Structure 1
């Protein structure tokens, strides 16, 4: 799909990730990656709310790094994005399928079609002796969000190729391509991908290699920072620095009382995450007899807290791992080692489907 070098950008509330690479025959070659601070009050819940500042920031970044490439893909997450799985009778013609999807949306989703950009893809065919159906994944994104990205690329004189949402971007990788502890999983397992971001926890469930469920939880690294700031009378920047310096969720007991107090505070925040994650898991399990989560894969900035996988494993009694590699993604051209999970959404957006 992206045989030429392409820029992939994930704008987040706190950090913007930029990746340059190209995809060919299911292989992705990554040549450069960057993290840059997202300017305050320019981005909210997937929407570029201060276009001029974002244009200025990315224009300066592209210029300083001498990036002349024009083709760009974006990925985002937003509580305003709607994803639904529907089942419809099998149809062969594309126009018939599009018409049926639109009818389903009008009937079951509380939205005005003219206010959204809607895409869909076939997840699988369900064939029995009695019927033949299609399982369809629908993604709807408000037009005003899409228009913000189009305006951004137009002013920067870039060529927009695609706009993903993180949950569907990362599922372009099958679970067996995601490597944890230098081991593969297999398609027979049901895995939960947990993107531990600054603003949100993005939870996606993949069952037998097929995306079945996604939820965006309003918790993330910011909650840890805010809690530390309130308890220890710190600014948010000081709280983040304290978190990065002291955070350790292993069973180690430290001589330094301050470090122990910080860790206990962090655990309290993460315990709240766990309660919300377990609610989602219970809902998923209630949808069908036999539904259960076999493994959890972590990625994103907050997954880098030491001991995070082990802590979630212990508290939820589900094997939990941090993604440390992706098959078919070549990072050899990068000047140093990177934490692949920090850039996973942007990398996934380079992959064709």
Structure 2
């Protein structure tokens, strides 16, 4: 869900919606961007127009909170100067999002829905309507034909405006802002899939968790453990090495226990066990919350993020949680990878899942 509707009065008219826009994924440490353009000779297939990443200095953002709008704007401006990109769709941090679900009567007029949901904000999130920006998605209630389910995403107005101001100062126009997990879902879940999936975004400094049902984000959370904790564990076991060397060790040895040397496995297992325990806690919470809806049972775990290349990770999560886990195909809703070779290598592409999903919003 995006806050495009709510920010509409800040943005240009719909003509811009027909112009090429880039997906921009902003984290505490980097900015990743990608832009597609339609392939007019191959129907719905898209081509990658440009892509890249830019380091963000330490301290500019912390857990998604912008401490230095000017520095963030400089990173966005660098992207614009590299590529000429003027229209962007930007990720908002999961750590700062509030989600809640409520029901509304089916016969409620469209023009009254937003006011009704605004009235319910204070019952569900620690923000007043005046200090909040929100958007919502409506879906059918499988058990009651007289009501609709409303999935509402809320951010503090101050949080959204910091990202908005950074974009404007950089000379780019933000068409929408969206929770990371919703953007990942657009990239990694096949079109028309109405099942329930857990999305695990295994990043450098944290692991994002989202639960998506029928294409809509229903739950999001963050685990404060990421790839850098795995590297720290390897330092304690193997001594100092370069980050490139540790990445190679994680990707080639990982959770596959050696016959003669088990040091890598022994170093990584406690951290991975802690992450899986957090995933189990969130899955159990979801099962309890959604127990009356059989169709909301988690059927798969989709893995993405820059640290997801750890060898043996999908198999380990599958075994520990009893739910099939697999690394995502981040391109499946953009083009057919059997006929198109992506410019971004497979291992590197997992870290672009959010940016890809944001960019796809212009075409889906």
Q: Deviations over 1:147-180 (max 9, x none)?
A: 2122212221111111111122233358334xxx
Alpha-carbon offset, residue 274 of structure 1: 0.4
Distance of aligned partners of 1:269 and 1:90 in 2 relative to their CA distance in 1, 3 Å threshold = same
Matched, 1:110 2:119: no
TM-score (normalizing by structure 2): 0.81
Closer/same/farther in 2, CA of residues 349 and 2 from structure 1, 3 Å limit = farther
Tell me if 1:253 matches 2:258.
Answer: yes
| Equivalent pair of 1:250/1:310 in contact (CA under 8 Å) | no
Is 1:344 matched with 2:353? yes
CA deviation after TM superposition for structure 1 residue 145, in Å: 1.7
More strand by share: 1
Q: Which runs of 5+ in 2 are unaligned?
A: 1-15
Q: How far apart, CA to CA, are the structure 2 residues paired with 1:109 and 1:327?
A: 35
Q: How far 1:269 moved relative to its partner? A: 0.5
CA RMSD of superposed structures (Å): 2.8
- Which residue is 1:183 aligned to? none
Matched length: 335
Partner of residue 161, structure 2 = 147
Q: Cα deviation per residue 1:200-259 (whole Å; 9 max; x = unaligned)?
A: 22222233554432222222223223434456664xxx474443131123434165x4xx
Instruction: Structure 1 unaligned segments of length 5 or more: list them.
Output: 178-185
- Give the equivalent residue in structure 1 for 2:181: 167
Q: Contact 1:126/1:135 (CA < 8 Å) preserved in 2?
A: yes
User: Where does 1:30-69 land on structure 2 (aligned, <5 Å)?
Assistant: 30-63=48-81, 65=82, 67-69=83-85
Q: Tell me the CA shift for residue 143 of structure 1.
A: 1.8
Matched, 1:292 2:272: no
Q: Which residue of 2 aligns with 1:137?
A: 151
Q: TM-score, normalised by structure 1?
A: 0.84
Residues 88-120 of structure 1, C-alpha deviations (whole Å, 9 max, x = no match): 222442221111111221333332222221111
Specify which of 101, 104, 123 is matched with residue 88 of structure 1.
104
Equivalent residue, structure 2, for 1:307: 312
Single out whichever of 223-232 and 91-100 deviates more from structure 2: 223-232
Q: Is the 8 A contact 1:91 1:97 kept in 2?
A: no
| Contact kept in structure 1, 2:31 and 2:53, CA below 8 Å | yes
Instruction: Indicate conservation of the 8 Å contact 1:229/1:239, yes or no.
Output: no
Query: Structure 1 pair 107/224, CA: closer, same or farther in 2 (3 Å)?
Result: same
The residue that corresponds to 2:13 in the other structure is none
Q: Cα offset for 1:315?
A: 2.2
* Residue 16 (structure 1) aligned with residue 24 (structure 2): no
- CA-to-partner distance for each residue in 1:317-341, whole Å, 9 max, x for gaps? 2211101343331374854534432
Q: Which residue of 1 aligns with 2:221?
A: 215
- C-alpha displacement of 1:268: 1.3
| SS of equivalent to 2:221 | strand
CA contact (8 A) 1:31 1:334 kept: no
Does the C-alpha gap of structure 1 residues 56 and 333 become closer, same or farther in structure 2, counting only changes over 3 Å?
farther
